[in-house]
């Protein structure tokens, strides 16, 4: 089964972000981890990242049309993009919202997710393991609708 891991703004530069929050990892580490974990779970994982809301919405539309399950870290868009929320609401396969950090233990503006209410579930606070848990959830939910 094909699964997409979509990542929002600034995650492509993880190695330059606050290591005390995101860990000592690069985006390549994240990509390799997801592909390897997917392989163990029998999933064909493709990892994408964009800083552009438009690009992310286009990927979400394509995933909806192709019924592709998604692990999705919307990054800062999580907290305010109604356009991304609306695109997530149209998905036809499971979508797990993923965060490396635990947004609820951080600044107040991160306590709101406009995406959670239309996601199948949310996993945050476990670093790379958040992605591993999301992929495991998707493997378990395989073939089910959102």
Cβ proximity of 49 and 7 under 8 Å: yes
User: Locate tokens 């493997």: which residue?
Assistant: 139
Question: Using the rule CB under 6 A, which residue among 25, 35, 76, 83 binds ligand DQA?
Answer: 76
Report if residue 92 touches ligand DQA, rule: CB under 6 A.
no
| Least distance from ligand DQA to the Cβ atom of residue 63, Å | 19
- Helix, strand or coil for residue 114? coil
* Per-residue mark of binding to ligand DQA, 99-128 (x: CB under 6 A): xxx-x------x------------------
Tokens of 119: 């996601």
Report if residue 31 touches ligand DQA, rule: CB under 6 A.
no
**19 given a catalytic annotation:** no
Q: How far is CA 100 from CA 9, 83, 108, 120, 133, in A?
A: 13, 22, 17, 18, 11
**61 given a catalytic annotation:** no
Nearer to ligand DQA, 108 or 143 (CB): 108
Nearer to ligand DQA, 42 or 107 (CB): 107
Nearer to ligand DQA, 91 or 131 (CB): 131
Report if residue 25 touches ligand DQA, rule: CB under 6 A.
no
Characterise 67 by phi-psi region: left (phi > 0), alpha (psi -120 to 50), beta (else): left
Instruction: Show contacts of 24-27: CB within 8 Å, 24+ apart.
Output: 25/127, 25/128
Which residues is 97 bridged to in the sheet?
72, 122
Report if residue 132 touches ligand DQA, rule: CB under 6 A.
no
| Residues in touch with ligand DQA (CB under 6 A) | 10, 73, 75-76, 78, 99-101, 103, 110
Which residue numbers are catalytic? 22, 99
């Amino acid at each position: 089964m094909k699964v997409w891991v979509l990542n929002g703004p600034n995650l492509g530069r993880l190695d330059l972000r606050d290591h005390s929050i995101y860990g000592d990892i690069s985006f390549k580490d994240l990509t390799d981890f997801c592909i390897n974990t997917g392989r163990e779970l029998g999933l064909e994982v493709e990892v994408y990242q964009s800083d552009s809301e438009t690009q992310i919405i286009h990927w979400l539309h394509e995933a909806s049309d192709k019924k592709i399950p998604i692990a999705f870290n919307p990054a800062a868009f999580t907290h305010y993009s109604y356009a991304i929320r609306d695109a997530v609401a149209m998905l036809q396969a499971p979508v797990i919202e993923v965060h490396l950090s635990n947004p609820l233990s951080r600044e107040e503006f991160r306590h709101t997710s406009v995406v959670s209410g239309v996601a199948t579930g949310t996993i945050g606070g476990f670093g790379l393991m958040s992605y591993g848990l999301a992929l495991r959830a998707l493997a378990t939910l395989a073939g089910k609708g959102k």
